[in-house]
Amino acid sequence: MHACSIRDLKKEYVLKSETVRALRGVSFDVPEGDYVAIMGPSGSGKSTLLNLLGCLDQPTDGELLLGEDNVATMSDDQLAEIRSRRIGFVFQSYNLIQQLTVTENIQVPLYYQGRLGAAERRRCVELAERVGLADRLDHRPAQLSGGQQQRVAIARSLVNDPYFILADEATGNLDSKTTAEILSLFDQLNNEGRTIIMVTHEDEVAERAKRVVRLRDGLLQSDKLNAEQDRQAAAARALELVPQDAAE
Ligand SMILES: Nc1ncnc2c1ncn2[C@@H]1O[C@H](COP(=O)(O)OP(=O)(O)O)[C@@H](O)[C@H]1O
Ligand SMILES: [Mg+2]
């Protein structure tokens, strides 16, 4: 089963004076359990691709399957439903609600869906524990470090058991030690079977993924597997930055 499949995916932005062909026919599959880094120079179509994968926008042409659902044929309501229930977003800027505690922030997607019963509340506490925030459940974002805030966002992204985690420069605001901690958490989640798709421009981040997809001028330039021993060497180098008690 694929977490997602794209076939000859195209996106054009029609402006007054010109049409920008942001994606000009991109194809690849993301099997369940994969861990993909999307790279490419500025303007190559990374954000456009991420917006399509996140159902924030519709393709101009081509096919996008999420699980077994064909996004290209969906209504706006169906898209909104998929977006809120089946995709876990993690942003560079965390996007937490400042007035809410850690547990409440993790509950937000369920709250909006009217699905917040006792079992769901327990699950949110478990997710907070899962990302290493067991002793911070009642803290608010301002009382947390950047790395801790990103952990809250990651826990929140998992609350709906998504097709995949879509991470847009998730470590872009973090120092190298905190980046190492977050990437170690991604490794753990991926080892448990979570599919991760992330956009990054940092080689040290991309080398931790299983696979690197490079875009150029709206086309797929390359799609390469990272050798397992290189990934492990990169993880080991990063781990040297993390004190052992935080490494879990
Ligand atoms: N909303 C939009 N309207 C018009 N052009 C856009 C829009 N979004 C992106 N583009 C253009 O599409 C191309 C790809 O952009 P983008 O996907 O943001 O690239 P990247 O994220 O790799 O920097 C660029 O030429 C950009 O100017
Ligand atoms: Mg971009």
Reported pTM: 0.92
The residues, any chain, with a CB within 8 Å of residue 34's CB and separated by 6 or more, are: 3, 195, 196, 197, 210, 211
Q: Which atom of ligand 1 is least distant from the CA of 40?
A: 22
116 CA distance to ligand 2 middle (Å): 34
**Cβ within 8 Å of residue 144, ≥6 positions away:** 102, 136, 152
Structure confidence at residue 84 (pLDDT): 86
Find the length of the chain.
Answer: 248
Ligand with an atom nearest the CA of residue 51 = 1
Over range 186-197, report the average pLDDT. Answer: 96
Q: What digits encode the pLDDT tens for the residues 195-230?
A: 999 999 999 999 999 999 999 999 999 999 999 999
The topology (CATH level 3) of 33-59+75-247 is: Rossmann fold (3.40.50)
Q: Which residue owns the Cα nearest ligand 1 atom 11?
A: 22
User: What does the pLDDT look like over 67-76, one tens digit per residue?
Assistant: 888 888 888 8
Contact present, 175 and 242 (Cβ < 8 Å): no
Residue to probe by mutation, ligand 1, list 13, 16, 51, most atoms within 8 Å of CB:
13
pLDDT single digits (tens) 80-107: 888 888 899 999 899 999 999 999 999 9
Ligand found nearest the CA of 41: 1
- Please tell me the residue having the least CA distance from ligand 1 atom 27: 43
DSSP notation for 177-194: HHHHHHHHHHHHHHHTT-
**How far is residue 230's CA from residue 42's CA, in Å, rounded to a whole number?**
26
Residue 246 has pLDDT above 70, yes or no: no
| Ligand 1, pocket-test mutation among 26, 47, 51, 198, most atoms within 8 A of CB | 47
pLDDT, tens digit (0-9, with 9 covering 90-100), for 160-175: 989 899 999 999 999 9
Choose one of 11, 20, 24 to mutate for the ligand 1 pocket test, by most ligand atoms within 8 angstroms of C-beta.
Answer: 20
| Mean pLDDT for the stretch of residues 231-243 | 89
Domain limits, the chain: 33-59+75-247
pLDDT at 245: 59
Residue having the nearest C-alpha atom to atom 10 of ligand 1: 22
Q: Are the beta carbons of 139 and 102 closer than 8 angstroms?
A: yes
Please determine, for residue 7, whether its predicted confidence score (pLDDT) is greater than 80. Answer: yes
Nearest atom, ligand 1, residue 42 CA: 23
Confidence of residue 244 (pLDDT cuts 50, 70, 90): low
Mean pLDDT of the chain: 93
221 Cβ closer than 6 Å to some ligand 1 atom: no
